[in-house]
Chain A
Amino acid sequence: MADIKTKDFSKASAVSILDPQLRRALRQVGTGFDAARRAAIDEVSPEIWDEWREEARRIKVHSLDHLDYYLDLLEQNVTKAGGHVHFAKDAAQANDIMGELVRTRNIKVATKSKSMVSEELSLNPALEAQGVDVYETDLGEYIIQLAEETPFHLVAPALHKTKEQVAQLFTDKLGIPYNDDINALAAAARLALREKFILADLGISGANFLVAETGTLVIITNEGNGRLSTSAPRIHVGITGMEKVIPSLQDLAVFLRLLPRSATGQGITSYVSMVTGPRRADDEDGPEEFHLIIVDNGRSKMLADPDLREALYCIRCGACLNICPVYQKVGGHAYGWVYPGPIGAIVTPSLVGLKEAQDLPQASSLCGACREVCPVNINIPRMLLHLRQKSAESPDPSERSAGLVPNLLAGSYTRVMRSPALLSASHKLGRWKQNVWAAMPFFPFSKKGGMIRKASLPLLSRWTRMRDLPELPKDTFRDIWKKELSKDKEGH
């Protein structure tokens, strides 16, 4: 499995949020991808867009509710087309399958187009350990492969890099003269990878959709590397999560309308490639063998949990990342594993363990913008809340992680709020403390003009380091009501 750094979220996010370059890159996400998405939706009309979303969701609900049936149908039809389907229950097994294929087919060079699942598996190091030269060919993935980093965004993995950084990277790793013109950088990548496409024995791809009816793997791309990786080498292996299957080829239409628009604001990508088995005998070119590796790696757990199943409807468009104010502040790496952003805050804990990734569902203000933009209407905030419930209350110790202090605080809060008398007393106590502390000469507490300006005390200090806090007023609404308004009422 890919390195899990989810425990570092607090620290990592505190650092990334201050990085001026990340700030610049992330600020562009709102004016870039998100603005393009909105324009694309306006072009089709919000009414039609919502119809498409409902249709897409219906298809996903049905597909996942009957996942066993459709995986079976898919396997039959891929096999009928001359392909081979392999089922992997976890990352280790998926890598073993790849390893076996690589060994028995004598693979030396592999070109790879984007696959998020392969990141879960840490596939590249596993292949390299077997002596295979693996080349990421998606420009963003190529850049982070050279930089030895993980993806920063679902759709644009190298979103965080400036062109200057990419130029320096290319100079260092490819030995070419420094040139930070973006067109020149793309041309350099084209040149460097051209011969790899032709040399490669193996092409690896992910899958955006799997069509059960015809046994077809669908990838939606812009650069052309997807086409080359699935056409030039003698073997093509598609690696996919098991949730990608849809029933009929006819169902594909609505997803082709939703995904490019949600992701980058395009009406359609430059290429949509549909693979149904290996080449046929009379084809001019194409792989002699087609293998599909279908991976579980924890998805059956999500499927089994009615609160989490929805997250499997995700079509990986990245719209939730682009709109999320938290993602826009901390960036993709802080999330510590393969999937960042709102959907990542659900998928990552579900696949690596909630205790391990407990911060992710908590690091949200539950603003709901993600749900608003999701093309399949996934209720992300609802699932974040349910994960929080598991963290606080689950009888399963591998899920529950709420510590003593939060539990005590929750308990005290409940106790006070169950009793108006206690609440009233707490208010009076708070007022008294406020005034006493403010009056003490060297105590780290000060207020002015009705606002607390400094309170270097546990918890309070987290608020007051950058914000003022209104002080507890002398009279609560209850007091005012009792004194003034009930008098008024009686007076009428």
Chain B
Amino acid sequence: MDRSLGVPKAEFLDSVRRSLDRKPAAPDPAYPRLLDGVSSLQEEAQRIRARINENRPALLDRFAEVAEVRGWNVHRTSDPENAMAHIQSLADSLGVKNAVRSDQEVFGQILVDAPLESTGINVTTVSHGPDRSREFLRSSIIAADIGLTGADYAVAETGSVIVMPRKGMSRLVSVVPPVHLALVRPEDLVESLDDLFLLRRLEYHEKGGEMGSYLNFITGPSRTADIEQTLVVGVHGPKEVHLVLLG
């Protein structure tokens, strides 16, 4: 669609300016954060990464602690075999028949397909291609008992796993199936919301104004307190969320 519906932007903004009794002009002094260019963001990002590197063990502990409090079932292991066994045993106890997963780097380290398939579980990697249409993939997601993803970031401050859709990373894999399992590597970790947003802004400005279509924070299972202010877990999103922290 090429044209805007409603009032033309110029007219709308004029009305806002009249309310503010001001002429069209940028804020003076300019808003500091909007003056950040790519190089200053890169410098800050370097400082952030240095700080995280220095404090990684403590951050991992903190992330695990907060995630647990926020409702993740956390399993920690730096041993891929152990991770795999955990996933297998979980799938077994849940009676999983169909699993979907994203196509992320972490699945090259933790090879889930073969072990799960060997127990009769159907595993679909949600990444479209000539032999798999988006429609087919969507029905696999709908039929799945569990969705497995990696994490684009893991935020220690809030105990959140961040997922960002793109090729091989579906928005629906982590929200439609009743159970979600996230594999988190030590290098995914950031300390705070401030860290996360700085890094996102860096990517946005480095790419000339592009950072992907979507970003989701996942912090625990789906919840509501809408009926009698009583907490219920598992409404439209997953009822159960598991986190395997690989460090």
| A residues lining the B interface (CB < 8 Å) | 25, 28-29, 32-33, 62, 65-69, 71-72, 75, 77, 80-81, 84-89, 93-94, 96-97, 100-101, 104, 137-140, 143, 156-159, 161-163, 166, 182-183, 185-187, 189-190, 193-194, 197-198, 213-214, 222-225, 227-228, 230-232, 242, 247-253, 256-257, 264, 267-280, 282-286, 289, 293-294, 296, 300-301, 303-304
Which B residues lie within 8 Å of A185 (CB)? Answer: 227
Of B49-57, B77-85, B88-96, B216-224, the one contacting chain A is B216-224
Which A residues lie within 8 Å of B110 (CB)? Answer: none
Asked if B230 is an interface residue, CB under 8 A from chain A, the answer is yes
Which A residues lie within 8 Å of B237 (CB)? Answer: 223-224, 227-228, 270-271
Contact assessment for A253 and B20 in the assembled complex, using a CB-CB cutoff below 8 Å: no
Contact of B214 (CB < 8 Å), options: A77, A138, A225, A276: A276
A and B contact pairs by CB, cutoff 8 A, 7 listed: A84-B4, A101-B5, A223-B224, A253-B194, A279-B213, A285-B172, A301-B19
Which B residues lie within 8 Å of A159 (CB)? Answer: 226, 229
In the assembled complex, the Cα of A185 lies from the Cα of B227 at a distance in Å of 9
Asked if B246 is an interface residue, CB under 8 A from chain A, the answer is no
Which A residues lie within 8 Å of B214 (CB)? Answer: 230-231, 273-276, 279, 283, 286
Asked if B62 is an interface residue, CB under 8 A from chain A, the answer is no
Which B residues lie within 8 Å of A198 (CB)? Answer: 138, 142
Q: Mark B221-247, 1 if CB is under 8 A from A, else 0.
A: 111111111101011111000000000
Give the nearest-CB partner of B204 in chain A: A214
Contact assessment for A250 and B198 in the assembled complex, using a CB-CB cutoff below 8 Å: yes
Contact assessment for A286 and B171 in the assembled complex, using a CB-CB cutoff below 8 Å: yes
Which B residues lie within 8 Å of A194 (CB)? Answer: 236
- Shortest C-beta distance, B190 to chain A (Å), equals 12
Contact assessment for B234 and A190 in the assembled complex, using a CB-CB cutoff below 8 Å: yes
Asked if B47 is an interface residue, CB under 8 A from chain A, the answer is no
Residues from 90 to 135 in B contacting A, C-beta threshold 8 Å: 126-128, 134
Contact assessment for A68 and B13 in the assembled complex, using a CB-CB cutoff below 8 Å: yes
Which B residues lie within 8 Å of A296 (CB)? Answer: 12, 15
* Interface SS of B by simple majority: loop
Contact of B166 (CB < 8 Å), options: A227, A282, A289: A282
Contact assessment for B158 and A267 in the assembled complex, using a CB-CB cutoff below 8 Å: yes
Which A residues lie within 8 Å of B137 (CB)? Answer: 284-285
Contact assessment for B175 and A231 in the assembled complex, using a CB-CB cutoff below 8 Å: yes
* A140-B226, A227-B237, A282-B167 as given contacts; A271 in contact with B218, CB under 8 Å: yes
Which B residues lie within 8 Å of A28 (CB)? Answer: 228-229
Contact assessment for A71 and B16 in the assembled complex, using a CB-CB cutoff below 8 Å: yes
In the assembled complex, the Cα of A67 lies from the Cα of B27 at a distance in Å of 10
Which B residues lie within 8 Å of A140 (CB)? Answer: 224, 226-227
Contact of B197 (CB < 8 Å), options: A93, A252, A282: A252
Q: What 4 new A-B contacts, CB under 8 Å, besides A89-B12, A187-B234, A225-B235?
A: A101-B5, A224-B222, A227-B237, A228-B237
Contact assessment for A86 and B6 in the assembled complex, using a CB-CB cutoff below 8 Å: yes
Asked if B184 is an interface residue, CB under 8 A from chain A, the answer is no
| B residues lining the A interface (CB < 8 Å) | 1, 4-9, 11-13, 15-22, 24-27, 31, 33-34, 66, 70-71, 126-128, 134, 137-138, 142, 158-160, 165-172, 175-176, 192-194, 197-198, 200-201, 204, 209-230, 232, 234-238
Contact assessment for A166 and B227 in the assembled complex, using a CB-CB cutoff below 8 Å: yes
- Shortest C-beta distance, A76 to chain B (Å), equals 9
Contact assessment for B22 and A68 in the assembled complex, using a CB-CB cutoff below 8 Å: yes
Which A residues lie within 8 Å of B225 (CB)? Answer: 32, 156, 264
Contact assessment for B212 and A253 in the assembled complex, using a CB-CB cutoff below 8 Å: no
Contact of A186 (CB < 8 Å), options: B170, B211, B234: B234
In the assembled complex, the Cα of A101 lies from the Cα of B227 at a distance in Å of 34
Contact assessment for B33 and A276 in the assembled complex, using a CB-CB cutoff below 8 Å: no
In the assembled complex, the Cα of A51 lies from the Cα of B122 at a distance in Å of 51
Specify which of B33, B227, B232, B237 lies most central, judged by the most chain A CB atoms within 10 Å of its CB.
B227
Contact assessment for B165 and A138 in the assembled complex, using a CB-CB cutoff below 8 Å: no
Contact assessment for A223 and B227 in the assembled complex, using a CB-CB cutoff below 8 Å: no
Which A residues lie within 8 Å of B128 (CB)? Answer: 284
Contact assessment for B227 and A161 in the assembled complex, using a CB-CB cutoff below 8 Å: yes
Give the nearest-CB partner of B66 in chain A: A267
Which B residues lie within 8 Å of A289 (CB)? Answer: 1
* A62-B31, A223-B224 as given contacts; A286 in contact with B235, CB under 8 Å: no
* A80-B209, A223-B223, A280-B213 as given contacts; A68 in contact with B16, CB under 8 Å: yes
Contact assessment for A86 and B197 in the assembled complex, using a CB-CB cutoff below 8 Å: no
Which B residues lie within 8 Å of A250 (CB)? Answer: 33, 194, 197-198, 201
Which B residues lie within 8 Å of A143 (CB)? Answer: 226-227
In the assembled complex, the Cα of A232 lies from the Cα of B5 at a distance in Å of 24
* A28-B228, A228-B175 as given contacts; A268 in contact with B160, CB under 8 Å: yes
Give the nearest-CB partner of B210 in chain A: A81
In the assembled complex, the Cα of A161 lies from the Cα of B230 at a distance in Å of 12
Which B residues lie within 8 Å of A267 (CB)? Answer: 66, 70, 158-159
Contact assessment for B20 and A68 in the assembled complex, using a CB-CB cutoff below 8 Å: yes
Which B residues lie within 8 Å of A271 (CB)? Answer: 216-219, 222, 237
Which B residues lie within 8 Å of A264 (CB)? Answer: 225
Contact assessment for B197 and A249 in the assembled complex, using a CB-CB cutoff below 8 Å: yes
Which B residues lie within 8 Å of A249 (CB)? Answer: 197, 200-201, 204
Contact assessment for A156 and B226 in the assembled complex, using a CB-CB cutoff below 8 Å: yes
Contact of A248 (CB < 8 Å), options: B31, B66, B218: B31
Which B residues lie within 8 Å of A279 (CB)? Answer: 165, 213-214
